[in-house]
Every structure is written in structure tokens, then in C-alpha cells.
Chain A
Amino acid sequence: MNTHRTRSRREFLKTVPLALAGAAAFPTIVRASALGLNGAVPPSDRIVMAGIGFGMQGPSNMRSFLGKDEVQWVAVCDLDEVPLDKAKDTVNQRYGNTDCATYKDYRELFARGDLDAVSIAVPDHWHAILSIDAARAGLDIYGEKPFTHSLREGRALCDALARYGRVWQTGSWQRSEDNFHRACELVRNGRVGRIQRVEVGLPSGFTDFARTFGQETLGSPPKGFDYDTWLGPAPWSPYCKARVHMNWRWNMDYGGGQLMDWIGHHLDIAHWGLGCEHTGPVEISGTGEFPVTGIYNGATKYWVETKYADGPPIVIAGGYPEIQSGTKWIGEYGWVWVDRGGFESQPAHLVNDAIGPNETRLYRSRDHYQNFLDCVRSRALTIAPAEVAHRSASVGHLGVIAIETGRTITWEPATETLIGDSQAERLLSRAYRRPYRIPA
């Protein structure tokens, strides 16, 4: 569909699928399938997409997009040939041809000139550079959480997305699930009264996604894997299997441990329910526990307490059984709790309470990927836009800093500045390894 190079958006939108046009004016999505348009979207009207990063979430995201007839997936990009080839095969199998292009250098991918959007699922330390470059290339972005690897990167990415007018959808897909949406609407409409406290329960420990725990013997990276570029802006470290695919997230040079891995889910939902998605806490304290051996240095168990200027305190914990997994809003008259596959309340009947037409209704999306595609066409905000994702991630970043410094830190959300703590201030960003730098 690339409107800048093939045909005008005006021409294109004359034949835009009805479903997508509908979403333009209102963020509630009517699927193309509802129109019986499956398989009937002309190639010239499809949204042309590519993906970067296929180590973990990338394949799943891509499969979801490949299931949409309005998407034409043309290329895949990864620094490792093994997942790259698998991704290419998936695309070619979907379309029954051998057309999918492969790239190891994302700059070559962006230079193709025919892309409308890109799905990015790379390690956190690459989020900002890649996404800013994508925005400047005029691409809309489906990006993974956490929004960025450092808080300052988050602001830079938000500014770039606003500057270039790009549509951004964060992979905080819980927002497009019915139970989370309903829970937030109940809280917003005061079903349990004024909220006194929010508890956010996240996982603890580390999960061995790649089955590489313990494989920390140093060696050469496998042939076909560009390890130096994989390290990118992170400090140089020698290669070992445990450092890279999937399990990189437990090392703070590339990820942020369980706290940052999940902050864009349950804390994001907490913010949504409270309606404080565009601000942040004013005071943060925290403690953590860390591994005693190995290359991972993220917290395995943590407790972060936050205070908001105009809202209840939020506790974020991993590894504390008293804090239930998921998000729990505790109000004057009861509580609402929601998690993946779980939705309960006290009083119990609240979960079945309907939200009336005269009450507060929240943005509705029933398909996270479709919501992104709809907004690519309409230019409306997605259900998990950049500023919201940045504010969710910020709470995690500040929690990590509070744990690291061992102090209660004071934050000014409006200006995004730390007050009176020069040591903590330094942890808001990282100097990049040469030759990497944040683009404009």
C-alpha cells in the first residue's frame, strides 16, 4: 500500500476496506472478516510489512499479521541466519512462493522504499535506535515492550514518533483482551469506590526460554550470527550462548529482568484502570535480590513502591506470594483483580456488571494486531500508543533505579526529571558503545 511511492493515499483509500475505514473515526474495530473481505483485498491495497528480530516474539507477531489478508509481508531481518531462514520459510509458505526477502542489516531493509510498517521484536537495547530510524524512514511500528531500554531513550523515541507522525502499537496486547478491558472499565467507573492501593504482581526468578541456562562457557559466535552488531550499543562482552537469544533479558545490558519484561503488561493495565497513563509516580522506592553466579544481573525478586500525586500508591512485586500475579485495584468498597485467564472481584458480582452507555467507556480493541493495521490506515492512536507505553516503562525504569541506588527517589512526571539525586540521575540513560548513537 506504500502511498509515498506507488499510489496516493487518496487513491488507495477509495478502495480501503470498509472495516479499516470505520476504525478511523472511532477506536472500536470492525474486522475485515466481518465484511467477507477475506482473500479479497487487492494486492495494491495491502499494508506492506516487514519484520525485524525473530528470536522470540517476532515469529508470533509475524504469524498474527500473516493471518490478515490486508497485509503483504515482504521481508524479514535478523542478525542470525537460523531464525532469519525460519522466518523467511514461514512467509514463503504462507504465500506459496519464494518472494520473501532477507536482510541482516535493517538499514538495507528500510532503504527498500516499499514498506508501510514494520514489526520490531529485538532485544531491548536495540529498541530506541531501530525504532527512531524506522520512524524517520516513514514507517509505522508494531514494537515490543518494554518501550525502551532506558528512560531517556523513551522520551527520544516518543519525540521522534511525534515528529514523523508515525503510528505506534506496543505489544501490550492485554489491552485488547476482554477481561482486562472490562476490569479497567469497572475501576474507572468507581465500582469499588475510590482506589486506595494497587498491587501489581509480576513473575520472579528467570525463565530459561532458550534452554541455555548455564551455557556460559565463552566461545565464538556461530557462523551466520553477527554478534558484534547484536551487542550494538551495549558494552562489549564476550560471546556465550546464555547471553544471547531469548535469555538476554535477564542481563541489564540488554534487558531489564522480569520487572522490565512485564512492566508493560500488568503495570500498564494498572495505569489504564486508574487513568494515569500520561503521568507517573512522584516517589519510588524498592528493594531487590540478585543472582549470585552467572552472567545474569537482573533482579530475581523485587518490591517497588510508588506514590502518585493524584492517585493511589502502586506496589509492584515479583516473588512475593502476598502480591497476586496480575493487577489488583483495592478500593473503598472492594477490589477488582485481573490476570491472564483470570478476572475476579469483591463483591463477586461486579465482574458481570455491565458498563452503561452513560458511564466511562474505554478504547476498545478486540484484536491487537488488527487495531494496529486499522490505525495505520486511519492515523488514529492505537490502543497502546507510544506515550502510554513510555509512561508504563518509566515506572519500571524508576523502580530499577530505586533498587540500584537503595534510595527513595523523587520524580517529576511532567518534566521527567529526577529531583536531588545526581547518582540516580545518571541511571536514566547509558552511554552507547562506539559507533552507536541515538538518531534524530
Chain B
Amino acid sequence: MRATERQPSPSAPPCWTRMVSGLLLVLALSGPAMADRSNGVREAQTRGTAAPEAAAPASLEAILKELASYDGGIASDAVWRLRDYVHARKDDPAARAECEASLLKFLKTKATPSAKLAASRHLRVIAGEAAVPALAAMLADERIADLALYALQPIPGQLAERALIQAVRATHGPTRIAVVAALGERRAAAVSALAPLLNEPAAASAAAVALGRIGGDEAARALAAAYPHAAGSLKATFAAAILTAAEAMIATENASGAKPLYEMVASDAALPAPIRAAAVRGRISAAGDDAASLLLETLAHADPPIQEAAIAKIADVFRPDAIEPVCALLPGLPAGTQVQVLAVLSDYPGDLVRPAVLQAAQSGEPPVRLAAMAALGAAGDHSVVPFLIDAAARTSGAEQAAARLTIARLKGRAVDDALLHLLDEQPAPALVGEVLLAVGGRRIFPAKPIVAGFVKSPVPAIRMQAMKALRTVGTPSDVPAMLDALVGAETEAERREAEKTATDLARMAAAAEGRARAIRARLARAEESGTRVRLIALLPLVGDPGSLPALRGALSDADPDVVDAAVRAIVAWPTTDARDDIIALARDSRNETHRLLAIGGLVRVVGLDRHRHPEAAVADLRLAAELSWRPEEQKLVLGVLVQFPCREALDLAAGFAREAPTRAEAQAAIEKIKDRLLKEAIRQ
């Protein structure tokens, strides 16, 4: 690595010495293979500084002399010294001219192709008009023609353009084709030079593409005149070039110029469908006042690929207040076409397209119904709420999913009111369930009392749906009610719903301390074993540190189920607050199941704190490994170990690598740790 004016990072972490020693450690352990993978980093410039010349500047002649033998493989410092040299002079006209002359001269030497490529990269940026004659002359030399064009094509100005035009006549074969393409890329005023090539089989394709790119009336005329005489694949290329030229006319509001071009291509049935479809799109773009009727006619009568082209133009042709004819056409179109048109209609104002979309939502064709339902998400309002709720309640699968999604996306407070209004009419349970789902999905917070009321519904499905909704519109004050629901749940599914709702609502409290107060209070009153077990299981899900003393107390409960629940709650604790409790269980529990659970819990807890000092974390993992004899836990240790790259981690993994059951995982861990140490050290 070449050291230059590198600025230190303003936020370099304080542990850099450890990481450097980590690098040394990794390199020592890995041998030369690892060292080879690192890549030297060179600083061309640093932030806020101009391009530097790091070392004492050599002469350009000396650099080029060294560069001349560069074979394109590993190092050539001369490549970079040349870059520095030229960069330092590129903005000084005199110095730049000196570079330019030397580099041009270099291209004619016997230097290697890779060396010449290095030179031409700089000519690409700095070469001026003075370089044009030399570069143009080099086009005749097969060996360096590519490099010459690499530099010549981008040189601005008339001189380079004229040189390229002259080169059309002076060159042949692939070089001539490349020159033609270069003129096209430059959008050069070269129509008269290129048009005759349309009749030359070897050059016609390149000339057509270039003329299309150059565009304008003259190029278009040349292409149109040659088009009828083209055959085979050349015909498609000519047509594509004509389309390109016509697009430029449309962009400059010359629709009358583009129109005949598009019509010529669109009417040629021999062309591939994608090109004809492109021409149809163009025809509609160029049709002016006739665009709407042309589009409708195409939509109603054309083949699918061409219809597709027309559909893509609807948004351009029909203003919002003029979309009615498309809506009127919709029901009569084939199902697939309706699907595509509905996608377009969803971007139009709802008031104008809603009736047509709603009608389509009741189509006999399932794809159309689905597409229309989705379109209602944008085009619908409160008036479509009853339809969508009904659809969601009586369908299943994708149609139900689409209806629900659309309800969730409808805009406006009136939609919320319409949903709640449905509940006033005492609808069937399936409809109530859908409304409750929508209330949750739309976050209709004022509806909380209504939702809470349905938690006590005699219908299980409604209770479940109400609990789901309460998870979004409820607050921590609803936790006691959810605990009631938990205790009174009739099925396991309902119990799980109540658990999830209770814990989600408890976690909404801003401060962790006290979040589980309601649960603890309920636990203190509970007598039945099953209830206590279920309430204890909620505590780690909420994670209130104030619950840990209660859990510790439960460890000595007379009821073994309660003890088991407490152990499981402690080892699943979501923060590192329970670390000491977990270690105590792992060391001292006489129940082997609990001890193994605790070992797993310890490994998990270590993994929670990624910013911990690696050596300390590894010490805990070593303890976990020592407490277990099973490969299962040891593999868990290895999985977390890679998060804490340090020598101790490598030592621990190396120990596992000596044991057959953990060898593969240990070796993978060692590789990861080494990689991380190396990357971090390089980063430092």
C-alpha cells in the first residue's frame, strides 16, 4: 500500500490496536494464501485535495518507457504513475498538449497492447483537436484502430467529426463499421456520408442504426427510401432505425414528420410483432386529434400484441375527463385485455372510472374481478365499502385477499365511518369479522370501545378477529381484559390470540419497567396451576425487568409445572438482565432438561450483546461449552462465537475442531473469525 496524504477517519474506533494485532494473528495463522487475498490500496487523492503525485514526479518519457513492456497482468506501477502524471496536467493546456503528443507517439511504438490501452485511456479524456489527424490516421492500422477510436470518438468539435466522416471512405471492414457507429453515437451531421451505405450489404445495418440515431428529416428520408429494398433481418434493423428517428421527431413535436414513418412500419405485416407493436404505439403518438379514435379502434379490433401497444398509450391520449369511451369499451373486451385496461384505469380519478371498475369487479371472469378489485383500491371510495366487505366475507384465497387489501388502502375518513356504520346494522358474523379486520388494518382508533366489546362476543370467530384488531387500536389499558380472555379461552387458537394481544399491548408502554405490572398482579391472584403457567409464559414476551424477582420466586414453587414455566421464562428472557440467573440454572439445576435449556439460553444471551468486549463474551461461551457434553450445545456456541472475533474465540473453536462431531462447524467458524479479524484490521 502506498502511503500518501490519507486523512484519518474522524470516527476511528478506539480498539484499533487490538484489530491490528488481530490482523497479525490472522496472517500468522493463515500463511501466505491469506495474505495474497488482501488487496493493496492506493490513494489517488484525498478528500478536499487536488489529484496528487505521491512520489517525486518522474518524466513522462521515463514512465512510458517503463510502461511499454506492461503485459496487462500483475503490477505495473507505471500504469498508475502515468495516471497521476496526466491527471496532474489535464487542466493545464500546455502541459496537457505535451502529454497528448507523447501519448500519441507512444501508440505508434512497439509497446504492448496493454501499455497502449493504458495510454489511450488518458487520450480519451485529454485529447484535443490537435490529436485528431494522428488518431484518424491510426484508424487504418488494424492493430491500434480500436484504441484510436476509443480516443477519437468523444473528442468534441467539427474537426473530429469531419475526420470520422472522411474515415468512412478511408477505412474498410470492421473499422469502417465502427466509424459509422461512432458517427451515430455522436449524432454527427453525417447523413450524406452514411446514406449511400444503406445499399451496401456489409455496412447497411450499421449505417441504418447510425442514421436512426442521428435523426432529422434528411436521415429519415434516406431510411424510408431504402426501407422497401431491405430484406430479411436487415428489414427489421431498418424498421428499428426508422422508429428511432421517428421518436426524435415526436420529441421535437414534429408529429407530421413521424406519422408516415410509423405508418410505413406498422403496415408491414412481414415485420416481427414487437416492431409492429412499437410502430402502432408511435402511430398513436403521432395521430394528433385522431389519436383517441385510432386507439379505440386498435383496442377493439387488433391482435393481442397490438392491443397491448394501444393500452400502453391510453394514459397519454385520454385526459381524465375524456376516459369515458375506454370505460364504455371495457366490458366488451376479452378478459385478458380488460385486466390490462383496468391496470391503466386505476390511475384515473375515481369519480370518473368507479362505475366501470365496480361493474368489472362483478364480472364472470375471475381474473377481471381480481384486477377490478385491486383497481378499486385507487378508484374506490366509501360507496364501495359494502361491496368489498361482502366480497371479503363470501370469497376465499386471492379474491378475498384482494378485497381485504383494497379495503385497507381506500382513502378517506368517510371509509372509516362507512365501515363502522355496517356494524350498526347487526350483520352476519362473517361480515362482522371482516369489518373488525378492516378496523385493525385501517387503524381506526376511535373504534376501540366497539372492538373491545366484541372480545366478549359469543361467536368464537368474532372474538378472535376482535383480538387481532385490538392489537392495533388497543392500548396497555386493555391488557387486563385480554388476560381475562386468555384465562377464559375455549380453544388453543383463541388462547394464542389472547396471549399475543396481551403481550403486544403490554409492550406498547414506553418504559420497559412496569410493562408487565398487570400480568404480575394477575399472577399474584391466580391459584390454578394452568393459569399461573400461562401467565408466567407471558413475562419473557413482555420483558419487564421488574418481573425477574417474581420468576426467581417461582423457581422454588411447590408446583413442578410452575417451576418448569419459570425456568423456561428465565432462559427465554429477551435481555441480558437474566444472565446471572441463567448461569446459575446451567450450573446448579438438578433437572437435566432445565440445565440444558439454561446452557442454550446462556449462548443466546451472549449473542444478544454484539458490542460486548469479545474476550468477555467468549469467556461466557467457554463456560457454556464446559457445562455441556452434547454436540448440540457446542454447535450453538460455535454459531455465536463468530460474532466475537479474537484470539480467545479462535482458541475455543480450535478445541472443537479436534472433536469429530463438531469439526466441520468449528472449522467453518475459524474461517469466519479469521475473515472478520482480517476485514476489521484492514478497515482500521
Contacts and interface: CB of A to CB of B under 8 A. Distances in A.
A229 interface: no
Interface string B436-462: 000000110000000000000000000
Interface in B145-183: 145-147, 149-150, 152-156, 174-175, 177-178, 181-182
Interface in B581-610: none
Interface in A287-342: 287-296, 300-301, 303, 319-322
Interface stretch (B6-14, B639-647, B651-659): B6-14
A18 interface: yes
A437 B304 contact: no
A150 to B, nearest CB: 11
A24 to B, nearest CB: 4
A95 interface: no
Contact of A433 (B146, B184, B206): B146
A385 B551 CA distance: 54
A406 B397 contact: no
For A235, A296, A427, the residue with the greatest tally of chain B CB atoms inside 10 Å of its CB is A235
B53 to A, nearest CB: 13
Contacts of A23: 374
Contact of B371 (A21, A216, A291, A432): A21
Given A214-B37, A238-B71, A9 B308 contact: yes
Interface stretch (A72-80, A86-94, A260-268, A356-364): A356-364
Given A406-B87, A432-B178, A165 B37 contact: no
B57 interface: no
B273 A4 contact: yes
Interface residues of A, number: 94
Contacts of B401: 30, 34
A101 interface: no
Interface centre among A10, A16, A24, A237 (most CB of B within 10 A): A24
A418 B150 CA distance: 20
B312 A165 contact: yes
Contacts of B105: none
A237 B154 contact: no
Interface in A382-440: 404-406, 422-423, 425-427, 429-435, 437-440
A165 B308 contact: yes
A159 interface: yes
B46 A295 contact: no
A164 interface: yes
Interface in A15-35: 16, 18-26, 28, 30, 34-35
A379 B337 CA distance: 10
B240 interface: yes
Interface residues of B, number: 127
Nearest to B304: A9
B362 interface: no
B312 A36 contact: no
Interface string A135-173: 111100000000000001000000100011110000000
B411 A437 contact: no
Chain A CB within 10 Å, residue with most, of B9, B368, B402, B415? B402
Interface in B74-100: 74-75, 77, 80, 87, 90
A292 B309 CA distance: 52
B336 A235 contact: no
A227 to B, nearest CB: 13
B402 A16 contact: no
B47 A164 contact: no
B72 A295 contact: yes
| Listed residue (A10, A26, A138) with the most chain B CB atoms within 10 angstroms of its CB | A26
Contacts of B277: 164-165
A21 B397 CA distance: 14
A405 B96 CA distance: 14
B339 A13 contact: yes
Contact of B44 (A288, A322, A380, A440): A288
B413 interface: yes
A223 interface: no
A121 to B, nearest CB: 23
A30 B145 CA distance: 54
B149 A30 contact: no
A213 B117 contact: no
A8 interface: yes
Nearest to A28: B405
A357 B413 CA distance: 9
B410 interface: yes
A433 B147 CA distance: 8
B180 to A, nearest CB: 8
Contacts of A303: 47
A236 B114 CA distance: 8
A437 B37 contact: no
B343 A378 contact: yes
A354 B443 contact: yes
A117 to B, nearest CB: 13
B346 A165 contact: no
B408 interface: yes
Contact of A440 (B213, B336, B345): B213
Interface in B27-50: 36-50
B418 to A, nearest CB: 12
A163 B278 contact: yes
Contact of A22 (B124, B374, B408, B510): B374
Interface stretch (B241-249, B537-545, B561-569, B622-630): B241-249
Chain B CB within 10 Å, residue with most, of A135, A213, A432: A432
A435 B174 contact: yes
A437 B177 contact: yes
B331 to A, nearest CB: 15
Interface in B281-297: 281
A19 B80 contact: no
B335 interface: yes
Nearest to B87: A406
Contacts of A439: 209, 240
B206 A437 contact: yes
B14 to A, nearest CB: 12
Contacts of A357: 408-412, 415, 442-443
Given A423-B126, A425-B154, A437-B181, A14 B334 contact: yes
Given A24-B371, A30-B402, A322-B9, A291 B185 contact: no
B332 to A, nearest CB: 13
Contacts of B124: 426-427, 430
A181 B367 CA distance: 27
Given A291-B39, A321-B9, A430-B150, A163 B247 contact: yes
A165 B367 contact: no
A206 interface: yes
A12 interface: yes
Contacts of A293: 40, 42, 74-75, 77
B409 A423 contact: no
A163 B243 contact: yes
Contacts of A82: none
B575 to A, nearest CB: 15
A164 B278 contact: yes
B468 to A, nearest CB: 14
Nearest to A379: B340
Contact of A358 (B45, B90, B274, B413): B413
Given A406-B87, A439-B209, A440-B244, A22 B273 contact: no
Interface string B246-268: 01000000000000000000000
Interface of A: 3-4, 8-10, 12-14, 16, 18-26, 28, 30, 34-36, 135-138, 152, 159, 163-166, 204-206, 208, 211, 213-214, 216-218, 235-238, 240, 287-296, 300-301, 303, 319-322, 349, 354, 356-358, 361, 377-380, 404-406, 422-423, 425-427, 429-435, 437-440
27 contacts: A4-B305, A10-B336, A14-B365, A16-B367, A18-B397, A18-B398, A20-B367, A21-B366, A23-B374, A24-B339, A24-B340, A26-B346, A30-B398, A164-B275, A205-B682, A208-B37, A213-B39, A235-B146, A290-B44, A290-B80, A356-B442, A379-B312, A426-B125, A430-B124, A431-B150, A431-B153, A437-B206
